[in-house]
Chains A and B, each alone.
Chain A
């Protein structure tokens, strides 16, 4: 049973380009969380999605960032017009349920570098 998959593992973009990060949850999990880890900081929650629904986007920057989790296919975190401050590790996690006690299973992360 494969764990959470994220691709690409490393992504380099120039300022102004778009970054698209993909996350495939554990098979059977319908809850996906995205977290961002800036250099020298802990993980910060960005967005929580269920299939075709955004449940909590309280941690998402208001501009340039969007996320989706379609009925079919992986969850996508999209960053438009990237800036140097977007350079970070982006982690996806999935869980089988919504409960606060549910274990979240993490992917290996995508390391985004903006030149």
Chain B
């Protein structure tokens, strides 16, 4: 089965604290994983993908095939990071399979 799990519905941290948004997946083949973000009153947009191995806005995510995880991390959270974050798996035919989403709230 193709499935993505984000166990936390809400993650609340103070500005400057480290952030880790958890994502676990289930996929029988070689996974393609993404993090999408939706800021308030904006459309859903790609934050990063595992294949690029890049850091965007200070966020990184490492694919751990042993643990079937793709957690999103940032060492020092900023208030502007407050948003809804979705982990997604590229399924067969290119469709995306989304997790439930995690709301990140960064308090001043």
Chain A interface (Cβ < 8 Å from any Cβ of B)? 3-4, 31, 33, 35, 41-45, 48, 55-56, 59, 91, 93, 95, 98-109
Contacts and interface: CB of A to CB of B under 8 A. Distances in A.
Contacts of A104: 46, 96
Contacts of A101: 32, 49, 51, 90
Contacts of B70: none
B44 A91 contact: yes
A42 B101 contact: yes
Interface residues of B, number: 22
| Residue of B44, B92, B97 with most chain A CB atoms under a 10 A cut-off | B44
| Residue of B36, B45, B46, B93 with most chain A CB atoms under a 10 A cut-off | B93
Given A101-B51, A108-B43, A45 B91 contact: yes
A55 B92 CA distance: 11
A11 B44 CA distance: 20
B96 A41 contact: no
A56 B96 CA distance: 12
Contacts of A43: 44, 86, 96, 98
A104 B90 CA distance: 10
The 10 A-B residue pairs with the shortest CB-CB distance, nearest first, are A100-B90, A106-B44, A56-B93, A42-B100, A42-B98, A45-B95, A43-B98, A100-B32, A108-B43, A106-B43
